[in-house]
Amino acid sequence: MKRVGLLGGSFNPAHRGHRKLSLHAIRALGLDEVWWLVSPGNPLKPEAGMAPFSARLASARKMACHAPIRVSDVEARLRTRYTADTLAKLPRLYPKHRFIWLMGADNLAQFHQWRNWRRIARQVPIAIIARPGYDARAHASPAMSWLRRAVRPAGQAKKWTSWRLPGLVLLRFRPDPTSATRIRAADPAWHRHFSNVRGIPISTQSVPSPQPRTDLLQP
């Protein structure tokens, strides 16, 4: 069974912080790789300032180069808008994979606003990456109040495939200060750098298509 971490997000744009978080998770959780699930549209984020999906996907592929990180447009192809729906379909499409959901502490702080968030916690283990400035809010969040008894010691992080769900682990590492918000503020038209992208080599980092559902997940 391949051990895969799932990192969902807008990637508006993808940056070094996403890459470093993913590489840390690979080491801490004993993963074979991390998949970046680039969202066609995040229901909790405003459309204003959101770059075109093609540009965000291209920025993720560029940032993931030469790392055990695979970039996926699976949510666009499956037409799933909510994480719980995506997670319900992935195990059927990839029966030889085991998945763990990765999220920053900023997302845990608002996790209770996600549709069917308790169902998500019962679908896959969750690894929370600490983020300065968000940890206190995350620990005081409604979701964490419900999940507190499901927290596993960091020393058991690599045993996540054997956890009874819900199961959650808190990971800490030196964060990268790069911020998508600051990147957009410095260059609001950053996506134009990817407007003419046609052939970024992606064969080494695209999520493999299941058989026989190639109509859905071809890169």
3-state secondary structure of 82: coil
Query: pLDDT digits over 72-82, tens only?
Result: 999 999 999 89
Domain count, the chain: 1
Question: Which residues, including other chains, have CB under 8 Å from residue 141's CB and lie 6 or more apart?
Answer: 108, 109, 110, 111, 112
Which residue type is seen at 150? Answer: A
Q: Are 29 and 154 in contact (CB under 8 A)?
A: no
The Cα 179–Cα 194 span in angstroms is: 19
Would you call the peptide bond into 212 cis, given omega within 30 degrees of 0 as the criterion? yes
Output b/e per residue, 82-118; b: 16+ Cβ within 10 A.
bbbbbbeebeebbeebbbbbbbbbebbbbbeebeebe
Q: Which domain holds residue 150?
A: 2-194
Q: What is the pLDDT of residue 173?
A: 85
Q: Is residue 29 part of a domain?
A: yes
Q: Is residue 111 part of a domain?
A: yes
Residues in a beta bridge with 2: 97
Q: Is residue 77 part of a domain?
A: yes
Mean pLDDT of all residues belonging to the chain: 87
Report the alpha-carbon angle 72-76-77, nearest 5.
Answer: 85
Q: Is residue 205 part of a domain?
A: no
Q: Is residue 201 part of a domain?
A: no
Report the alpha-carbon angle 147-129-201, nearest 5.
Answer: 125
Beta strands 33-38; 69-72: pairing state: parallel
Query: pLDDT digits over 104-141, tens only?
Result: 898 999 999 999 999 999 999 999 998 777 788 899 99
The residue among 187, 194, 188, 219 whose CA lies nearest residue 55 is: 194
The residue among 78, 80, 73 whose CA lies nearest residue 58 is: 73
**Token pair 């666009």: residue:** 76
The Cα 29–Cα 21 span in angstroms is: 12
Q: Is residue 18 part of a domain?
A: yes
Query: What is this structure's pTM?
Result: 0.88
Q: Is residue 56 part of a domain?
A: yes
Query: pLDDT digits over 48-97, tens only?
Result: 789 999 999 999 999 999 999 999 999 999 999 899 999 999 999 999 99
Q: Is residue 38 part of a domain?
A: yes
The domain spanning residue 57 has which CATH number?
3.40.50.620
